[in-house]
């Protein structure tokens, strides 16, 4: 028995809140640039995605109550009507957009902050980073070795593990 709807890799709260929906929110709010990096030998295959975080919108800067809806431009519902999103959908977009998967289930993302990024980082994003951020086990062996050496003898210092998690 399949848990997720066909073609989905998360349980949707609404049938039209798919990855395209969440991607469009991040792009429309100018919080991220997301690029498909295609296979040069077969341009129909997405090798990986580049996800560049350009900024965050705080609930204070949202411009209205976080539960009120904004209209999503350039993306329509199945029936052709406008789609809408709230601040909560905006926060969810940072997580849900990463559930894109290819047929081999080996899709990867290159995540980075834009060089001009200067916004404060909201707490909800730090929680997201804790879940999706760097996973040292996937780093190449030389980098894992370096991280291991740099961490020796400093485990007793306060904030070391959270700092390593944040800065890696």
- Is the pLDDT confidence value at 12 over 80? no
Q: Say how far apart CA 127 and CA 89 lie, in whole Å.
A: 16
pTM for this prediction: 0.74
> Would you say residue 37 has pLDDT above 70?
yes
Residues 93 and 39 both lie in one domain: yes
β-strands 108-113, 70-76 pairing = unpaired
For residues 120 and 158, state if they share a domain: no
Tell me: do 53 and 78 sit in the same domain: yes
User: What is residue 72's three-state secondary structure?
Assistant: strand
Per residue in 40-88, pLDDT (tens digit) is 999 988 889 999 999 999 999 999 999 999 999 988 888 889 999 999 9
pLDDT, mean over the chain:
80
Range of the domain at 72: 1-133
CB 90 within 8 A of CB 17: no
Contacts of 109 (CB under 8 A, 6+ apart): 48, 49, 50, 51, 98
Give the pLDDT band of residue 3 (cuts 50, 70, 90).
low
Residues 91 and 162 in one domain: no
């Amino acid at each position: 028995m399949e848990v997720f709807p066909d073609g989905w890799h998360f349980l949707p709260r609404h049938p039209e809140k798919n990855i395209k929906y969440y991607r469009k929110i991040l792009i429309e709010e100018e919080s991220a640039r997301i690029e498909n990096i295609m296979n040069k030998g077969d341009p129909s295959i997405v090798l990986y995605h580049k996800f560049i975080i350009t900024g965050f919108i705080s609930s204070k800067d949202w411009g209205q109550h976080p539960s009120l809806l904004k209209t999503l431009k350039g993306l329509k519902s199945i029936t052709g009507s406008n789609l809408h999103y709230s601040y909560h959908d905006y926060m969810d977009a940072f997580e849900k957009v990463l559930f894109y998967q290819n047929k081999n289930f080996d899709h990867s993302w290159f995540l980075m902050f834009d060089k001009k990024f200067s916004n404060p980082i909201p707490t909800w994003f730090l929680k997201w980073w804790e879940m999706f951020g760097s996973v040292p086990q996937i780093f190449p062996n030389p980098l894992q070795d370096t991280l291991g050496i740099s961490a020796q003898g400093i485990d007793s210092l306060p904030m070391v593990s959270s700092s390593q998690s944040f800065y890696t």
